A = this chain, B = another copy of it.
Amino acid sequence: MSRKFLTPVLLGTLLSAPLAAKEGMFTPDQLQDISAPLRAAGLDMPPEALADLTGFPMGAVVSLGGCSASFVSPKGLVVTNHHCARGSVQYNSTAENNYLDNGFLAAELADELPAAPGSRVYVTTEVSDVTERMRADSDELEPQARYELIQQRRKDLTAECEQAPGYRCQVASFYGGAQYKLIKRLEVRDVRLVYAPADAIGRYGGDIDNWQWPRHTGDFAFYRAYVAPDGSAADYDEDNVPLEPEHYLKVSAAGLDDGDFVMAAGYPGSTSRYTLLAEVENTFNWSYPTFEVLLNDWIDTIEAAAPEGSDARVKYESRLAGLNNYEKNLRGQIEGARRVGLVERRQAREAALNDWITADASRAAYAEAIAELTELSEESAQAARTNFWYGNVSRPQLFSAARRLYRLAREQELPDSEREPGYQERDLTFIRQSLQALDRRYDPAVDQAEWLLFLNGYLAQPMDERVAEFDAALGLTADTTAADLPALLAPFYANSTLGDAATRLALMEATPEMLEASEDPFMQLAVAMYDYGMGLEQQSEIRSGRSLALRPAYMEAMTAWQREVGKLPYPDANSTLRVTFGNVLGGSPRDGMAYLPFTTLEGISDKDTGEAPFNSPAVLLEKVAASDYSSYALESLGSVPVNFLSDLDSTGGNSGSATLNARAELVGLLFDGTFESVNSDWDFDPRTTRTIHVDTRYMLWIMEQVDGAQALIDEMDIVR
């Protein structure tokens, strides 16, 4: 081991310089506007190169739908996070070949395994501004008509764009509907698993280390994109060939040092940085705390109904992990909001914006829009409260499946272009896969225990906050108590046939009349609640329609004001391609404590207990004990860096994003944020927001020293 330590004198001085954390998830077309700060931060290439989506390096950056990734070889090799590809590892695992435990490495192309159903690689090829076409003449309409017009135009544009075979298109809304872009992406449907280290590397630290620093997770895995021999997107076929991407990233074995420039390109999912005070207050004073309490009960319920070691637990592992992750996230958001004084900060921002508006009479319309939006937020909040428990009692999986099937039957009576998005022809594959996948995450006893929990909460509400239609359909009266519920629910599980996948799939072809005649209790409940659900949807659409006219005005005021105070506005994350830049940087998450920017191989053996999730392979521990760093040590650190921190601006969906150095070489993969950062979705706090990356030097060290993946290293373009 060769660890180094803190000296008292230096620890004193390190507290003396200001921090330069970089807020901003910029769209590629914004990059030319920020070329000065990009160059100042250290970018060593023309910023405008980053704006070209089909050029280098952005042409190498792809989406997996929910995760980000990038091409790293001329033969379609794609690198992403282990946690983004883990579903495919699990899908291919059997009791005999448990790739989660043992890792998976294809010796050659023919050994590569099909990724989990629905796996995709999306390559963004074109982004065009369609604001004019989307918004024209919409402001004059009534809210619901406005909403429907926008929806229809969205569908029309998408359909038009998807005329090109093998492409998937979407209309994305920016700045609260002030701007729309049509995004065209090549949809690679034949995705194969090439290499994933064992969970003991790729998921090292598991849920315990999730959102935590110091971190030692080898969160990387490799897919390969396949296309038909003619280069077009195609379903899985033995004759398919590796896609030859226009661009791919070089992989750095030299890596970074503390303070170096980094940027990441990926698909962040959603942020709420422009929410109004009223929205923040409702979220942090009511929604999050309420749901956090329920989440804990929910987790306890599943753990009790599906004891460790049971077959049911296997089916619910993934849901439990998701709920735990969500609970930890919510807790972090609530704590973070309190710590940074989120509500007070939003109050101050709104007051400053208001001052700017009132300073100029010509801006009066902005004030009106903000007042109306605030009123609308209160209404939305009220609706959310009223529907909170109804939403929860609608969670049983077969009830959800029944609702979806009946809605599909109703929508299928309309021409495709008039159907609700999510129920069009283009969506049927996803519906089918999801109805099929239900088996692997459904257990009737656990589902019933969950339903009981939610119904108990529902029953505890005053009668006037309950839903009469639901009470009638389920046979709940004012006198029903928790003790009555098990007898009421048992017949649903005893008599429903929707637990059978073939039955569910067959019902995709059913007419509404057939389903209305069904004797399946969950289907009967779905039919009974249809009108109520459509009513809720309509109310929500009317609110959206109102927002569509108001929020662009608010955002216009906000961005104009931000520009005036010297800040470059950027739109909230919306799962579209963004670039964030900054530096490798530790931090001081709490008074009296500091995060150092890198972790080391030795930290792995320090954490190792021999038991999951801290159960490194023996060969890894031996190489660490022998300081066998190969050529991947960072001299200033005296070891191989494992994970590193930066001040990049990221959120969920950024997972797997290529982390690039000043020359756009791959130096890491973005995979998480620190616990103190989760609140940054609402308010970017430069003191505490830190993004966590896995270092390519660790990735290469594992590939070379532990997993014997030299052939893949040779396939990539390794630079120093």
- Using CB atoms and an 8 Å cutoff, list the residues of chain A in contact with chain B: 3-19, 213-216, 257-259, 338-339, 583-588, 590-600, 602-603, 606-607, 609, 636-637, 643, 687
Contacts and interface: CB of A to CB of B under 8 A. Distances in A.
Nearest to A259: B8
Contacts of A607: 591
Contact of A8 (B5, B339, B583): B583
B15 A4 contact: yes
A9 B213 CA distance: 20
B11 A7 contact: no
Nearest to A339: B606
B15 A596 contact: yes
B637 A586 contact: no
Contacts of A10: 10, 13-14, 17
A9 B597 CA distance: 10
Given A3-B687, A259-B8, A594-B593, A637 B606 contact: no
A661 to B, nearest CB: 15
Nearest to A590: B214
Nearest to A11: B586
A645 to B, nearest CB: 8
A409 B592 CA distance: 55
Contacts of A592: 213-215, 595-596, 598-600, 603, 643
Given A11-B258, A338-B609, A636-B12, A6 B594 contact: yes
A216 B592 CA distance: 9
8 contacts: A6-B14, A6-B594, A8-B584, A10-B17, A15-B637, A214-B590, A214-B592, A214-B593
A588 B6 contact: yes
A9 B603 contact: no
A12 B603 contact: no
A599 B588 CA distance: 12
Given A338-B609, A339-B606, A606-B339, A8 B258 contact: yes
Nearest to A597: B11
Contacts of A585: 6, 8
A247 B465 CA distance: 73
A13 B11 CA distance: 10
Given A12-B258, A257-B12, A583-B8, A599 B591 contact: yes
Contact of A5 (B215, B583, B636, B687): B687
Contacts of A586: 6, 8, 11
A12 B585 CA distance: 10
Given A593-B593, A594-B594, A603-B590, A19 B6 contact: yes
A597 B15 CA distance: 11
A587 B6 contact: yes
A15 B597 CA distance: 11
A584 B213 CA distance: 25
B14 A597 contact: no
Given A8-B586, A15-B637, A590-B606, 16 more contacts: A3-B588, A5-B15, A5-B19, A5-B588, A6-B15, A6-B586, A7-B16, A10-B10, A11-B258, A12-B258, A213-B592, A214-B592, A338-B609, A339-B606, A592-B599, A592-B600
Nearest first, the 6 A-B pairs at minimum CB distance are A591-B603, A214-B592, A8-B259, A592-B599, A7-B17, A10-B14
Nearest to A215: B592
A7 B215 CA distance: 20
Given A588-B596, A591-B603, A609-B338, A14 B15 contact: no
Contacts of A19: 5-7
Given A3-B687, A590-B214, A592-B215, A8 B602 contact: no
Contact of A213 (B15, B18, B593, B595): B593
Contacts of A588: 3, 5-6, 596
